[in-house]
Structure 1
Amino acid sequence: MTAVSQVRRPVTREAFAVEFGRFLDQTDGVAQSEPLFDVLSAFALNLDFPWIAYCPLPPDQTILNPDRFDPAALMNYPDGWQGRYFEMAYDRIDPIIKRGQKQAGAFRWSEVYNDVSTTEMERRVLDEAATFGLRSGFSVPLHGPNGNFAIMSFAQSWDREIQHRTITYLQLAALHFHLRIAKFANSSVVEDPPNLSLREKECILWVTRGKSSWDIGGILGISEHTVNFHIKNVMRKLGSSSRTGAAVKAVILGIIEL
């Protein structure tokens, strides 16, 4: 394959929104985890991420043990890498899991690799993953009540900068997937949409588009403090501990449209 054929046209904001809207439509009525994972995989593939993994960790478990895997764990990583990972007990030193347990938002694997606190043994996990085709990616920590934790990872087979917009939409998709999985397990999910003010809807809509509070303030002509006030109100009304989680719930419940 020539270098020219590898170049892809940049995806527009409108195209991202259309793809994400199609993903949400396709998940409607899906009541099983594996078909839902297939829909998410197809959405991620459209954004150039052929490899994804969803791994829940119970509160009393600090490593991924194949004999104690949560039945909700799903992944399409290459079989060779999955076998190598557990053969070498990389679950005990995986820096992605370590970072995810301490962080709220999505992070690039390159950030972890280049972090001065990452050890050479931990970098070895990422180096070997690259030999199996997982050359770059990012992960989304999914923190829940009572210490529950899951992590969703998206990987690709080439090294290049991952667009912030791509991360934003795939993070929204990961959270949507996680909430649907929780619903399957009869976890508490907000069912009746609360009333949001027009300003609250405007603020949370711009959150779904990856804008910071400072950006949103400039767009709406209000202060950053006021934006944060409205977003915190939305988080409280939707029972979410994060602004991204609140944005996902607002979309799912039909409070806002992308």
Structure 2
Amino acid sequence: MHDFLQFWLNEFSRSENPQHVISVLTRAAATLGYEYAAYGMRRPFPISNPPILMVSNYPARWQERYIEARFANIDGAVKAALGSDRPVTWSAPANASKSAFWAEALSFGIAHGWSSASRGADGAIGVLTLSRTQDPIDTAEKFRNESIVHWLANVAHASMAPFLPAADEFDPDLTRRETDVLKWTADGKTAYEIALILSISESTVNFHVKNIVSKLGSTNKIQAVAKAALMGML
């Protein structure tokens, strides 16, 4: 196992562009029995149009369809991966013909696979997907490859991160007290409760909340908390 990981780590370390990353991923995937490999990542901001980078060895037409039809918004494998701290396995459902997404995926030979999410300290989120046409992933294979897929996802994330377009610089620069108020707000505490916890007046809490909302470019404290969470501030 150590030799396997060291070999692929050396291969990834030579990456000078995203195309090299997917080339290495594709070869690594093949050694595990998968025809296709894909890695997509995005920054958390701006929420309406975050920088995105996607690479894969999928057929060109499927890559085009996935983007133009916005299949990422309904791709259950991606959703499951983002909601798990471990790689997830998936297969096309029995009624795949009734789903536009799965019907098209199957037409390109995408039927069974893994998806694994990774998150960087800067808030960037990525998902690795390995897939193949035949043979669902059984329990033995899952046990054998889960840790490897997880490792590949993290190494792919680190390898791709330098090539992800930068988001606009954004540093809310909260004070220590504002950070305290923000964290208690995220825990669902009211201004009155936070005032008691921090031994300050309720009006002072509201003053800090107003500053937090402004610094985070939000319209209310709920949005501010959500934005702070996406930025890893909590």
Q: 1:77 — aligned with what?
A: 58
The secondary structure found in structure 1 opposite 2:117 is strand
Q: Which amino acid aligns with 1:130?
A: L
Offset, 1:150: 1.1
Correspondence list, 1:48-197, <5 A: 48-60=33-45, 70=52, 72-110=53-91, 124-145=100-121, 147-162=123-138, 163-164=141-142, 165-182=144-161
Offset, 1:113: 5.2
Cα distance in 1 for partners of 2:160, 2:6 equals: 19
Cα distance in 1 for partners of 2:89, 2:100 equals: 16
- Give me the CA root mean square deviation: 3.5
Cα distance in 2 for partners of 1:61, 1:94 equals: 22
TM-score by length of 2: 0.57
The secondary structure found in structure 2 opposite 1:45 is helix
Cα distance in 1 for partners of 2:82, 2:31 equals: 28
Offset, 1:56: 0.8
Which runs of 5 or more residues in structure 1 are unaligned? Answer: 1-15, 188-258
Cα distance in 2 for partners of 1:24, 1:79 equals: 27
Q: 1:199 — aligned with what?
A: none
The secondary structure found in structure 1 opposite 2:127 is strand
Offset, 1:62: 7.7
Cα distance in 2 for partners of 1:186, 1:132 equals: 29
The alignment covers a number of residue pairs equal to 163
Matched, 1:32 2:17: yes
Cα distance in 2 for partners of 1:126, 1:28 equals: 35
Cα distance in 2 for partners of 1:47, 1:120 equals: 25
Q: 2:232 — aligned with what?
A: none
- The 1:28/1:130 distance shift into structure 2, 3 A limit, reads same
Which runs of 5 or more residues in structure 2 are unaligned? Answer: 167-234
Query: Which has the higher Rg, Structure 1 or Structure 2?
Result: 2
Offset, 1:96: 2.2
Offset, 1:139: 0.3
